[in-house]
Structure 1
Amino acid sequence: MGQTDDEMQSDRTRDALTAAHLYYMQDLTMDAIARELHTSRSSISRLLSHARASGLVDIQIHSPLDAPSRLEKTILDRFQVAAHVVPVPDHVSDVDRLERVALSVARILGQYFDSNMTMGVAWGSTVSAISRHLTPKQTHNSQIVQLNGAGNMRTTGIGYASEILRRFGDAFGAHVQQFPVPAFFDDPATKNALWRERTVSRLLEIQAHMDVALFGLGSTFSEVPSHVYAGGYLDQKDYESLSASGVVGDVATVFFRADGSSDGIPLNDRSSGLDFDVLRRTPRRICVVSGISKLESLRGALAANLITDLFVDEGTARALVSG
């Protein structure tokens, strides 16, 4: 009788763990490990790759001498934000830059999320990229909650947002709490009435007590279009209103100005996004930014005190501290 899929997976995990111990803890070469385990060097290479991808191995680099580390210290000193600067060559396209930053976030996100915790996730191009690279980590009694609605005039948005949340739920073995409301209401009164409904107020209560929030920054200037601006959520009047209000970006479809203020922006009264006062009470607020075109949005979010942990590419980090 052949092995079941679970048994085969268990064997592979055991072999990957053995190879990882020999390679990372005992400093054996791949050739030496191959001889010890009676297999080929290419098989050991695949086992080590599996160990990294499945979360059996967590690799971190700490250097006080390199440019990213110096930038991280400068950002911490100037903005009181824990920065994680991702080395990316300046000539790389914004699409590739986003993928590299997203991959770096996905590889270590499990350090910030564990059992008995709630993570709020704001859908968008950046978080979608992160969700495709998540390293699995099993947790218990944990949940992922959606921070803003995704429906618009073209679509319910459920397919787009739920796929992102599903990836987070699967990666961490967490229960997913979806937020099936429009991204923007036509009338603020409709939003206020719905917010009083028990099914919605339950989700708002979960958001209010989350441990971690993960979000990107929306920007009209980005070369990688923010989903809220590219997905049919705003019409011409909305853009004119945002321009008149001096908006430079948004977090979870709540807009802010360069000085961090968000009051008096009409579209915020119709937004389903998380109120900034609630967001600021979240202990850890992880913002992920790639591309210098989002620099103005990043400055505004920092001014609004929305960020405790910042993941950013090296070029954007340099521009942030040089201004």
Structure 2
Amino acid sequence: MPTDSLGSDKVRDALRAAHLYYMQDLTMEAIAAELHTSRSSVSRLLGFARETGLVEIQVKSPADRVSSVQDRIRERFSVTAHVVPVPDNTAEVDRLERVAMSAARILGPFFDSNMTMGIAWGSTLSAVSRHLQEKVTHNSQIVQLNGASNARTTGIGYASEIMSRFGVAFGAYVQQFPVPAFFDDPHTKQVLWRERSIRRVLEIQKHMDLALFGLGSAYADVPSHVYVGGYLDDADFEQLTKSDVVGDVATVFYRADGSSEDIPMNARSTGPSLELLRKVSRRVCVVSGRSKLPALRGALAAGVMTDLIIDETTAVALLRE
């Protein structure tokens, strides 16, 4: 809920408590005395300040292992890494949730008023959307990067829920993309891409300030939605294997060397080309789990990301390989 719709007294008290606690290093007992309230009330005010975005907490340490890994990834791959500490023995579903939670908080400062954010639906972005913190923006919009329907479902419920969460969190207008994830015939795509209603969405995509996406992989421990959601049949999987595909971004497939040309499935895909994606000033990729390493290496080779949000175990494995 935007802070301007909350009780002004509570916002005022939360701001005062946060300033005393974080900026003046007062104890909760001292703050309680100054605000004439209880210690438990101060704790709730500080929690309220964090949850509503009045306070943003960043953890930085130039000496720890995470910072070292981030620096090495930047040096080797020329991307800004945000490494999320997660124990090695964490289950993959829990690992994804922890990375998604961190990604949702890291994303906040990247997006502001008068900006357009492109969203590629998928298992990872669905998890991120559940942890978004509210931030009021103005004249901003969220645009869907690829269609979501297939032969079994319209995909509207799945994709629109993700998009809606981003729209609500940032107070942004949501622009959906009501087309299939893949056309049966590339010529159908060529014809539809000339329609004014579709061209309007494509034009918005061309002027994105920020693109947010996960990486699809047929071999991920947490299944990528495009590979298990009925979007591909046996012939499609065979074709991807013949094309040496290692992953996809917004249903656009690529090889280990980062190339995406001459992959037949891409002629049918509704996602933005990797060439268009590379023109976006900030491109944030969220990855969790070592099973995504082949897809991640290919995406790095393709140069599709400027920022990488990744769990520590996978980041260390990436550097070792």
TM-score bin (small chain): over 0.9
Q: Partners of 1:205 and 1:215 in 2: how far apart?
A: 19
What is the root-mean-square deviation of aligned Cα atoms in Å? 1.3
- Tell me what 1:287 maps to: 285
Q: CA deviation at 1:243?
A: 1.0
Q: CA deviation at 1:240?
A: 1.0
Is 1:29 matched up with 2:27? yes
- Tell me what 1:300 maps to: 298
Question: CA 1:37 to 1:263, structure 2 compared with 1: closer, same or farther past 3 Å?
Answer: same
- Tell me what 2:263 maps to: 265
- Tell me what 1:177 maps to: 175
- Tell me what 1:81 maps to: 79
Is 1:68 matched up with 2:66? yes
Give matches, 1:211-250, under 5 Å.
211-250=209-248
Question: CA 1:185 to 1:137, structure 2 compared with 1: closer, same or farther past 3 Å?
Answer: same
Q: Which runs of 5+ in 2 are unaligned?
A: none
One-letter amino acid of the counterpart of residue 33, structure 1:
I
**What do residues 104-135 of structure 1 show as CA deviations (whole Å, max 9, x unaligned)?**
11112121111111110000111111111111
Aligned to 2:105, the other structure's residue is in SS state: helix
**What do residues 237-277 of structure 1 show as CA deviations (whole Å, max 9, x unaligned)?**
11111111111110000011111111111111111111111
Q: Partners of 1:67 and 1:269 in 2: how far apart?
A: 43
Is 193-202 or 128-137 further displaced after alignment?
128-137
Is 1:155 matched up with 2:140? no
Q: Which runs of 5+ in 1 are unaligned?
A: none
- Tell me what 1:12 maps to: 10
Q: Partners of 2:162 and 2:121 in 1: how far apart?
A: 7
Is 7-16 or 237-246 further displaced after alignment?
7-16
- Tell me what 2:124 maps to: 126
Aligned to 2:22, the other structure's residue is in SS state: helix
Q: CA deviation at 1:11?
A: 2.5
One-letter amino acid of the counterpart of residue 224, structure 2:
S
One-letter amino acid of the counterpart of residue 221, structure 2:
E
Give the TM-score of the pair, scaled to structure 1.
0.96
Q: CA deviation at 1:39?
A: 2.2
Q: How many pairs does the alignment contain?
A: 319
One-letter amino acid of the counterpart of residue 141, structure 2:
Q
- Tell me what 1:50 maps to: 48
Aligned to 2:7, the other structure's residue is in SS state: helix
Question: CA 1:45 to 1:160, structure 2 compared with 1: closer, same or farther past 3 Å?
Answer: same
Is 31-40 or 190-199 further displaced after alignment?
31-40
Give the TM-score of the pair, scaled to structure 2.
0.97
- Tell me what 2:275 maps to: 277
Q: Partners of 2:29 and 2:44 in 1: how far apart?
A: 13
Identity %: 69
Question: CA 1:286 to 1:8, structure 2 compared with 1: closer, same or farther past 3 Å?
Answer: closer
Q: CA deviation at 1:83?
A: 0.6
One-letter amino acid of the counterpart of residue 206, structure 1:
I
Q: CA deviation at 1:40?
A: 2.2
Q: CA deviation at 1:8?
A: 5.9
Q: Partners of 1:154 and 1:41 in 2: how far apart?
A: 55
Is 218-227 or 30-39 further displaced after alignment?
30-39
- Tell me what 1:59 maps to: 57
